[in-house]
Amino acid sequence: MEIYKLQQFSVLLLCTSAGFVCGVIFDVFKSLRNQLKLSNAMNSVADILFWIICTVIVYFTIYYSNNADIRWFEFLGLATGFFSYILIVHKFAFKLINKLIIILLKI
């Protein structure tokens, strides 16, 4: 029984980290959008690409951590990771990501 709870906790932590990674990817796409001045059609393509990337990340996280057995706390972990990134790290990370994107675009 104790191993099962430990396994669930590790799945929760992995889902939280996947939500955090989706937050980072959100900032990367937001920065790219600001720097490249995309048209409406390209914004739509970027949105679809963002959701495809996040879907793949979430799928593989759930598949490899829990054998694709979906539980309610996995969604809680994803939301917690994403919103904790947005509330805590977003301000600092966005500035850093934006500077990195500017440097990469100049190269």
Model confidence at 81: pLDDT above 80: yes
Whether 101 contacts 32, CB under 8 Å: yes
> Which tokens belong to 20?
């955090």
Largest CA distance in the chain: 55
d(CA 83, CA 90): 10
Q: SS3 for 42? A: helix
Taking residue 59's Cβ as centre, other Cβ atoms within 10 Å add up to: 12
Predicted confidence at residue 71, as pLDDT, reads 84
21 neighbors 86 (Cβ within 8 angstroms): no
User: Does residue 21 surpass a pLDDT of 90?
Assistant: yes
Model pTM?
A: 0.86
In one-letter notation, the amino acid at residue 86 is I
